[in-house]
Amino acid sequence: MRYEGSCHCGKIAFEVEGEFAEAIDCNCSLCRRRGGLLAFVARDKLTLTTPETDLSTYVFNKHVIQHRFCDTCGIAPFGEGDGPHGKMAAINLRCLPEFDIEAVKVVKYDGRSV
């Protein structure tokens, strides 16, 4: 299914293709503070509909994930990095207005132990 997503103010907008049956609730120091629910897709399933230059990036710990966020409203709609099968995107399902959060199985993940 194709979803439209964005940050709160709309400066960062995108489309993503995926079937999201499960989301990760990570408790690493960043995810715990921002409260996102993450689902993973191949990076080529995510298409920006706003300029890439509007993305701000934050990296921490091992610097392997580019946490993308809006420098206007502060919302982090997705992250990017290398996965076991190539480039991946971690979509914050809370940034997909039409997605039914109640329909997804939430899996706890201990990001602090990685």
Task: Give 56-80 pLDDT, tens digit per residue.
Answer: 999 988 888 899 999 999 999 999 9
CA end-to-end distance (rounded Å), the chain: 31
pLDDT higher than 60, residue 114: no
- Tell me the pLDDT tens digit for each residue of 9-57: 999 999 999 999 999 998 888 888 888 999 999 999 999 999 999 999 9
- Provide the b/e sequence for 55-88 (b: ≥16 CB within 10 Å): beeeeeeeeebebbbbeeeebbbbbbbeeeeeeb
pTM of the model: 0.90
Query: Is residue 109 scored above 80 in pLDDT?
Result: yes
pLDDT at res. 113: 60
Kindly report the backbone phi and psi dihedral angles of residue 53, in degrees, each rounded to the nearest multiple of 5, phi listed first: -65, -15
What is the rounded CA–CA span in Å between residue 65 and residue 69?
A: 12
